[in-house]
Amino acid sequence: MTRPPPRRAAALARIAAALARIESGEYGWCARCGEPIAPGRLAPDPALPTCVACAGQAGGG
């Protein structure tokens, strides 16, 4: 079995992390500060792990 291209592998890792947050009940909550992530932020990319404020900080995601 061949490895997926790096970009696809990164996308798969983000999706797997989002699924893990769903299973743990942490989905929709910022992984950095613990505040809720606005639904409008999650709509275009449901795998985002951080709120707008934390994403604006260096390395926020």
d(CA 56, CA 44): 17
In a domain, 23, yes or no: no
The residue segments making up the domain with residue 35 are: 28-42+49-61
With a threshold of 0.85, does the pTM exceed it?
no
Is the pLDDT at 60 greater than 60? The verdict is no
Residue 38 lies in a domain: yes
Q: Based on the structure, what is the number of domains in the chain? A: 1
Which residue has 């260096």 as its token pair? 58
pLDDT value at residue 16: 96
Residue 61 maps to a domain? yes
Q: How confident is the model at residue 12 (pLDDT cuts 50, 70, 90)?
A: very high
What backbone phi and psi angles, to 5 degrees, belong to 29? -115, 140
